[in-house]
Amino acid sequence: MAIIVNLDVMMAKRKMSLKELSQRVGLTTVNLSILKTGKAKGVRFDTLDAICKSLDCQPGDILEYKEIE
């Protein structure tokens, strides 16, 4: 199983840069980049909430579950 992070897709749909999102969410661009590339081990609910508010989306738009065989 794998959790796929589609943050870059939502950012592109909203035409929002990593820098702009980091300012809105209150995280560093480095931390958001780690999340965006799928290298993060977890994400706090308040961070996910802030990202969803900034991108006007649902958590399911950002996180996706895929079965890996």
Q: Where are the domains of the chain?
A: 2-66
Task: Give 36-69 pLDDT, tens digit per residue.
Answer: 998 999 999 999 999 999 999 999 999 999 988 7
CATH class of 2-66: mainly alpha
Sorted by sequence, the CB contacts under 8 Å of residue 18 that are 6+ apart come out as: 11, 29, 32, 33, 36
Task: Give 4-26 pLDDT, tens digit per residue.
Answer: 999 999 999 999 999 999 999 99
Q: How far, rounded to the nearest angstrom, does the alpha carbon of residue 19 sit from its chain's CA centroid?
A: 13
- Nearest CA to 62 out of 20, 17, 11, 6 is that of 6
